[in-house]
Homo-oligomer: A and B are copies of this chain.
Amino acid sequence: MITAAVLLIGDELLSGRTQDANLNYIACKLVERGIVLQESRIVPDIEDMIIEAVRALSTRYNYVFTTGGIGSTHDDITQASIAKAFKKPLVVNAEALKILEDYYGDNINDARRRMALAPEGATLHEKMVFQTENVFVMAGIPTVMQGMFDVVLPTLRTAPPILSVTVKAYVLENDLADELSAIQAPEGVTIGSYPFDEAGNIKGTNLVARSRDAKKLAIVEKQLQALVDSKCE
């Protein structure tokens, strides 16, 4: 199993100012590649908290993706924090500096040069994505993050994609739960049940089976459909 975690960095996510849109984008792309996103954390722009989260997640999972805190202002401390998390000095990455100087020309300034700072030994990918150990560092703005993540994706190891089927039932979860528990899913298939409430008053449950094995999944789908049909009659 190839695993991953996402670390969203930024006061604005915890103050309610900003609704995160990055986790969902990353999650969907990882599923397609068969990478299991196991955990996500959201921390403010506080160095100690970023360091702790980076250490915990990078030790435990194959890949860690961070978003936010890589701009040029005083509250952009992601790279410095990652350097400390891995006990590396924060240095000017010559390759990145050259890219910035070529791009900005005479408009280069100290703030822009700061974006070439990264932990010593970091790998520089396209679109200024720095990778330190198994941690990929991306921007917080969704459009920018998406471009960066699309650079990262092809570099990751992949597994057979995790397939899923959904059986939608206009039946309350409570009225399905006992029979649902009785379904014996074959090994490698997980079943989840997700109540929904459309337009505030049309209630029901989505039954979702997930597996890498399409044949097993088809068998479970039939079982779920039969359960729902027995309730809808």
Let me know if A23 and B42 touch, CB within 8 A: yes
Q: Are B28 and A38 in contact (CB under 8 A)?
A: no
Q: Is the interface of A mostly helix, strand, loop or mixed?
A: mixed
Chain B CB within 8 A of A101 CB: no
Identical chains bound together, number: 2
- In the complex, A14 has a CB within 8 A of chain B: yes
Chain B minimum-CB-distance residue to A75: B192
The answer on a CB contact under 8 Å between A181 and B74 is yes
Q: How far is the CA of A112 from the CA of B175 in the complex (A)?
A: 8
A110 interface residue per 8 A CB criterion? yes
Cα(A62)–Cα(B178), bound, Å:
37
**Cα-based distance from A197 to B74 in the complex (angstroms):** 20
With CB as the reference atom, state the residue of chain B lying closest to A185: B74
Contact A195 B71 (CB under 8 A): yes
| A177-B38 CB under 8 A given contacts A27-B15, A197-B141 | no
A193 partner residues in chain B, CB cutoff 8 A: 71, 73, 75
Cβ-defined partner of A72 (8 Å) among B16, B27, B173, B208: B173
Chain B residues near A13 (CB, 8 Å)?
23, 27, 40
> In the bound complex, do residue A41 and residue B38 qualify as a contact, i.e. CB atoms below 8 Å apart?
no
